[in-house]
């Protein structure tokens, strides 16, 4: 128990004598995390409807898989905020962009299959143009159009859209970060600026002529082209495994990055940016690297999340979502990767339990507490209390426990 609680960046990271020890050996908390994640994944598999005794319903598997994606997003957020000190209010937007990129393929390819089926019923096989026109009118009739927007030109290609999952959030973060960091916008200003970016993006997506179906968003994403006859209970498990794998790999990657000298530089930037500059480090480059890398991981997490959610629309990436993300990380504990995971898992699961009507309402006699009404109030004020009294979040409690044991 002592090992799991030790932050990955404790001094042990930097033993000078280099008898080459493996990364995991030096960072037992990562090992512990992997172990718990593995047990959890195996457990859910054995309890699932598709591969186990059926105690865990398919919809719960989806919620758990989505939660794993949110945890990965939170880990990325923790790296950019907790380690590098950039309170980005744009990472949920990167997450959403990843979802849109993969959603375009899912929606196009599935519609194409259906369209081909109906067209091929005719005596003459359809031309490519007929197929693409029929697909376009299927997808875009909700926004009063029947033309395929330019950005969908390669939506039929899974490879291309997968590349977009990485490239769109990555390039956006690169360009935005370059502009912002270059002009030395920091602190609260930077947060507001990232929020502005998120707002611009969601407003853009809300437009019907954005080419992404306006506020209807993309839907039917849970149907995976090529596997349309595979039951959802099985597909949900595939995505659950993929999410667990992504979280595991992402966690390792970030743990490796924030340990060692790079982590040391990044934390130094968080604590005193000008000083790092006078040591000769190109601070902007480091911030840009962290900002972009975390944006890419966020995009990947989104690409795994939305096929499980089944639908994505611009409301998902409104600025408030990114603020919630910051809240999860703050509650879990900044500057600790496992803190971000705990925060995201706890708050998002609690939130969907309480707002989904799963929790029993409490009758006080004179007043009836309906959780769907009061959860946000509780979360809001609870968060204020956490910020005031437990600035290190839940992860900080672990630290106290460890110190007591010592």
Partner 1 sequence: MPRTARAPWRWMSFLLLALTVVAVPARADTPLQDVLQTVQAEVASPARGTIPDVLRALLDADAPGTLEFLRAFADREVVERPEDGLFFIAQDGPDRSLILIDVDSGAEIATVTTRDVNQIRPNAGVRREIAAALVQFELSAPDPARRIAAMDAIARSPDPEQMPILAASIPDEPDAAIRARKERLLALLTARFETDSATRVAAIEALTGDVSTEARRVLNQLLQTEAGHAQFVPEGVNIARIRVVGEDLDLLRAHARLAEDGLVPPRPGRNAIRDALRAHVVDGHVGGIPVHRLTDEATRREAYRALQEDGLVPPLPTEAEMRAAVAQFTFYDRYLEDDPAVTTAARAALDSTRTRVGLFQALNLSLEALSLASIFFLGAIGLAITFGVMRVINMAHGEFIMMGAYTGVVVQMFIPSHTVSIAVALPLAFAVTFAAGVAMERLVIRHLYTRPLETLLATFGISIALQQLAKNIFGPQARPLTSPDWLAGAVRLNDIVSISTIRVAIFFLALMFLILLIYILNRTRLGLEVRAVTQNPGMAASMGINPDRINMLTFGLGSGIAGTAGVAIGLFAQVTSEMGANYIVQSFMTVVVGGVGSVFGTLAGAGLIGFLQKGIEWFNPANTLAAQTYMVLFIILFIQFRPRGIVALKGRAAGD
Partner 2 sequence: MTALLEVSDVSVTFDGFRAINGLSLAINEPELRAVIGPNGAGKTTFMDIVTGKTRPDTGRVVWGETATSLLSMSEAQIARAGIGRKFQKPTVFEDQTVRENLRLALKARRGVFSVLSWRATAEDARRIDELAQEIGLTDRLSHRAGDLSHGQKQWLEIGMLLAQDPRLLLVDEPAAGMTPAEREHTTDILKTAARTRAVVVIEHDMEFVRRLDCRVTVLHEGRVLAEGSLDHVTRDQRVIDVYLGR
Interface with partner 2 (CB under 8 A) = 11, 14-18, 257, 260-262, 264-265, 267-268, 271-272, 274-283, 285-286, 289
CB of 302 to partner 1, least distance (A): 21
Neighbours of 152 (CB within 10 A): 21
SS3 content of the chain, % helix, strand, coil (to 5): 75, 0, 25
Q: Which is nearer to partner 2, 288 or 317 (CB)?
A: 288
Q: Which is nearer to partner 2, 152 or 291 (CB)?
A: 291
Q: Which is nearer to partner 1, 40 or 381 (CB)?
A: 381
CB of 392 to partner 1, least distance (A): 11
Q: Which does 320 bind (CB under 5 to 8 A by kind): partner 2, partner 1, none?
A: partner 1
Q: Which is nearer to partner 1, 183 or 361 (CB)?
A: 183
Phi-psi region of 214 (alpha: psi -120 to 50; beta: other; left: phi over 0): left
Q: Which does 157 bind (CB under 5 to 8 A by kind): partner 1, partner 2, none?
A: none
Burial, 161: exposed, middle or buried (Cβ in 10 Å; 0-12, 13-18, 19+)? buried
CB of 343 to partner 2, least distance (A): 20
Angle at CA of residue 342, ends 380 and 256, nearest 5°: 130
Where would I find the beta strands (DSSP E) of 257-395?
311-312, 362-363, 368-369
Q: Which does 275 bind (CB under 5 to 8 A by kind): partner 2, partner 1, none?
A: partner 2
Instruction: Yes or no: say if 331 and 394 are a contact pair by the CB < 8 Å rule.
Output: yes
CB of 269 to partner 2, least distance (A): 10
Q: Which does 286 bind (CB under 5 to 8 A by kind): partner 1, partner 2, none?
A: partner 2
Question: How far, in Å, CA of 54 to CA of 56, rounded?
Answer: 5
The sign of the torsion formed by the CA atoms of 102, 103, 109, 110 equals positive
Question: How far, in Å, CA of 71 to CA of 325, rounded?
Answer: 10
Question: How far, in Å, CA of 170 to CA of 385, rounded?
Answer: 35
CB of 34 to partner 1, least distance (A): 30
CB of 19 to partner 2, least distance (A): 10
Q: Which is nearer to partner 1, 34 or 397 (CB)?
A: 397
CB of 24 to partner 2, least distance (A): 16
Q: Which is nearer to partner 1, 42 or 192 (CB)?
A: 192
Question: How far, in Å, CA of 151 to CA of 154, rounded?
Answer: 7
Question: How far, in Å, CA of 57 to CA of 51, rounded?
Answer: 11
Q: Which is nearer to partner 1, 62 or 334 (CB)?
A: 334
Q: Which does 179 bind (CB under 5 to 8 A by kind): partner 1, partner 2, none?
A: partner 1
Q: Which is nearer to partner 1, 37 or 135 (CB)?
A: 135
Q: Which does 128 bind (CB under 5 to 8 A by kind): partner 1, partner 2, none?
A: partner 1
Q: Which does 172 bind (CB under 5 to 8 A by kind): partner 2, partner 1, none?
A: none
CB of 301 to partner 2, least distance (A): 22
Instruction: Yes or no: say if 274 and 85 are a contact pair by the CB < 8 Å rule.
Output: no
CB of 289 to partner 2, least distance (A): 5
The runs of H, that is alpha helices, within 56-186 are: 58-77, 91-120, 128-140, 158-182
Question: How far, in Å, CA of 402 to CA of 383, rounded?
Answer: 24
Residues within the interface to partner 1 (CB under 8 A): 87, 122-130, 176, 179-180, 182-185, 187-189, 191-193, 195-197, 199-200, 203-204, 206-207, 209, 319-320, 323, 326-327, 330, 373-384, 387-388, 391
Question: How far, in Å, CA of 6 to CA of 344, rounded?
Answer: 19
Q: Which does 3 bind (CB under 5 to 8 A by kind): partner 2, partner 1, none?
A: none
Instruction: Name residue, tokens 């009063």.
Output: 144
């Amino acid at each position: 128990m002592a090992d799991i609680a030790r932050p990955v960046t404790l001094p042990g990271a930097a033993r000078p004598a280099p008898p080459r020890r493996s990364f995991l050996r030096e960072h037992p908390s990562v090992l512990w995390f992997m172990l718990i994640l593995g047990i959890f994944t195996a457990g859910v598999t054995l309890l699932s409807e598709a591969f186990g005794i059926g105690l865990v319903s398919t919809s719960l598997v989806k919620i758990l898989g989505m939660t794993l994606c949110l945890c990965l997003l939170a880990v990325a957020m923790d790296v950019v905020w907790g380690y590098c000190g950039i309170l980005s209010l744009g990472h949920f937007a990167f997450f959403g962009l990843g979802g849109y990129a993969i959603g375009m393929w899912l929606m196009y390819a599935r519609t194409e299959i259906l369209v081909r089926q109906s067209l091929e019923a005719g005596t003459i096989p359809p031309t490519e143009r007929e197929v693409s026109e029929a697909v376009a009118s299927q997808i875009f009739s909700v926004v009063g159009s029947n033309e395929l927007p330019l950005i969908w030109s390669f939506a039929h290609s899974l490879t291309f859209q997968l590349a977009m999952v990485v490239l769109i959030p990555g390039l956006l973060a690169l360009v935005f970060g370059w502009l912002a960091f270059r002009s030395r916008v920091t602190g609260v200003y930077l947060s507001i600026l990232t929020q502005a970016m998120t707002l611009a993006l969601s407003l853009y997506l809300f437009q019907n002529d954005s080419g992404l179906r306006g506020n209807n968003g993309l839907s039917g994403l849970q149907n995976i082209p090529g596997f349309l006859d595979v039951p959802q209970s099985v597909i949900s498990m595939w995505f659950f495994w993929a999410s667990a794998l992504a979280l595991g790999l992402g966690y390792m990657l970030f743990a490796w990055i924030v340990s060692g000298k790079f982590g040391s530089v990044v934390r130094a930037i968080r604590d005193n940016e000008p000083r790092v500059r006078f040591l000769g480090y190109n601070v902007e480059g480091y911030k840009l690297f962290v900002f972009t890398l975390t944006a890419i991981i966020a995009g990947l997490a989104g690409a795994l999340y939305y096929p499980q959610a089944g639908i994505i629309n611009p409301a998902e990436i409104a600025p408030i979502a990114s603020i919630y993300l910051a809240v999860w990380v703050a509650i879990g504990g900044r500057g600790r990767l496992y803190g971000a995971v705990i925060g995201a898992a706890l708050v998002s699961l609690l939130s969907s339990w309480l707002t989904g009507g799963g929790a029993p309402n409490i009758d006080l006699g004179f007043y009836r507490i309906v959780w769907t009404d009061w959860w946000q109030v509780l979360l809001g004020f609870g968060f204020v209390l956490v910020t005031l009294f437990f600035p290190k979040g839940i992860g900080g409690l672990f630290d106290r426990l460890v110190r007591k044991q010592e």
